[in-house]
Each structure stands twice: as structure tokens, then as C-alpha cells.
Amino acid sequence: MTRCAVFLLYAMLVISGCQVDVSPEAKTKSVLKLYVFDCGMLRFESIESFSISDDEINIRDLIVPCYVVEHEKGRLLWDGGLPSKTANVDGWHGEGMLSRLDRTFSEQLLEIGLDMSSFDYAAYSHMHFDHVGVANEVNGATLIIQKKEYDAAFADEVTVPGFDPTLYNNLKDSARILIEGDHDVFGDGLVRIISAPGHTPGHQVLFLDLANSGPVVLSGDLYHFAISRWERRVPEFNVDRDMTLASMDRVEALVEETGASFWIEHELAFFVQLNKAPAYYD
């Protein structure tokens, strides 16, 4: 504690120009930062394929976020949003499921002084098209991926619905760390990939221990809507229902144990309240 802060605390005097540092421990831990980006939106006519009937809730729009995690030992991209080409057409477009992307991720990265070659690591919750949209543009990052996800994504015949190899084929030969289970990215417990398979063979979520904001779980597609969480709804497009339910249990136990904030990545109503880059959580 600085002499200035001690003086302030003990004499309880307010002196302009002195910064009160009541939590030096928090300050030394606040090397970790989380930036949140809008990487597109999806609009569904019907949400029945999420195992939610259309008259239960009236939500039809999903946000598609990307995240950048800054640690003193390196920078991690978590999830890659919709393909950048989605931004070539203004507004909503497509057939059946509509999509839109108002600003590409690389455009937004420039605002915090980064580009697609600024990442040490890239990890995607899973390889569905709406999570790896910029994967081929990321350059020089080491991919951290579950071995089962890698094998399914690069099989001779890709059979997982929602996987589009044209979006991520550059990753096949990129530097990678193949994991089977949980992985502590920087070795200090602050950034941990948690295995949560079922939605896809190697689906995973991200646990962050932020000094000031507290622990957070970025939950990938473990759930798509808040109701999915409360009622343990497993969508139809899911490779292993029992495994998904077991992953829900495991992640919920972690949330309970750590008191982490739980972020449903696709939940628009939650996302609109978040501070977006260039602001950050620390």
C-alpha cells in the first residue's frame, strides 16, 4: 500500500491528487482484460429446433459475439462470429435463417489497436459456422482445440451439422494444442478452457477469473436462450444429448463453486447490457 493510501485510510482525510488504493491485491491481479465484440446476429422464423415451442417465448434474434482476452502472457481470441463476408450485404439477408453483420471483427479490432495477426492463441467454443466465421483470417495464432472437435472438423467426410470446413480449413495445419479435457491457458488458473462436449464432439466453454468483475463463464452454445438453461433444453442440432446434459451439470457445478457470472453467449437481451470494446472488463 502506498504511503499516500495509508495516510488516506488512517487519517480519513480526502486529499486531492492521491489515488486511494484500497485493494492492492486486486490491482496486481487486474492484468486480465476481457473485450466483447458484436460479430453479427441471427434471426429465426421458428425456434422449435432449439426445443422451445414458438409460443413459449417471442425471442427470434440471437447475437453472435466474439471476445478478446488479454493476459500478461498473451492474447486469446475466443469465438469468431459470423463470416466477414456477411457484412458485404447491408441489413438482414438470407433464406429461412437470416443473418447480418454490421461491422467486421477486423474493423472493430482496429479500434483497440489490433488486427488478425495480434493473437497468440485462438480457441472456439465449437466449430459451428457462427463461431468460426473469422477463423481463416486469423494469422499466426496457436489453435487450442479439443482433439475430438479437431478430428470431427477435419474428417475426410465432415458429418457434424453446422460445420462448414470452407470457413476454417486454414486451421488444419496451423500450430495447435490438442486437448482432451480442461486446459489452463496461461498456467495461473485465470483463463481456463472447460471441456463441455455434447453440442458438438469437443464443445468447450471459457472460465475467466477477472480481478474486479469477478469470475465469468463464457458458455459457448451450452445454452442458446435463458429458458434453455432453466429448463435444460437440448436443441435438436446436437450430437449427443446425454453428454450435453452431463456437460450442463459439470459447468453449473463450476458456476456454483466459483460464484461465476454466467454469460449465455447468444442471448441478445444480456449482450445489449454489456460494455463493448473498446471498453473492457477487468
- Judged by the rule CB under 5 A, the positions of this chain that interact with Zn ion are 130, 221
For every residue of 219-279, DSSP letters joined together read -TTS-SSHHHHHTTPPPSS-S-HHHHHHHHHHHHHHHHHHT-EEE-TT-HHHHTTSPPTTS
- Assess contact for 40 and 133: CB atoms under 8 A: yes
Minimum Å gap between C-beta 62 and Zn ion is 7
Spatial strand order in the sheet of 33-43: 98-100, 33-43, 61-71, 74-80, 121-123, 142-146, 176-179
- If we measure between CA atoms, which residue out of 130, 134, 164, 127 comes closest to residue 148? 127
Minimum Å gap between C-beta 134 and Zn ion is 14
Minimum Å gap between C-beta 186 and Zn ion is 26
Minimum Å gap between C-beta 17 and Zn ion is 49
Question: Which residues, 6+ apart, have CB-to-CB distance to 153 below 8 Å?
Answer: 127, 145, 160, 163, 165, 168, 171
Minimum Å gap between C-beta 163 and Zn ion is 12
Please give the single-letter amino acid code of residue 257: E
Minimum Å gap between C-beta 128 and Zn ion is 5
Select 221 or 267, whichever has its Cβ closest to Zn ion: 221
Residue whose C-alpha cell reads 450442463 in the numeric block? 248
Torsion of CA 158, 177, 129, 271, to 10 degrees: 150
Select 133 or 215, whichever has its Cβ closest to Zn ion: 133
d(CA 50, CA 48): 5
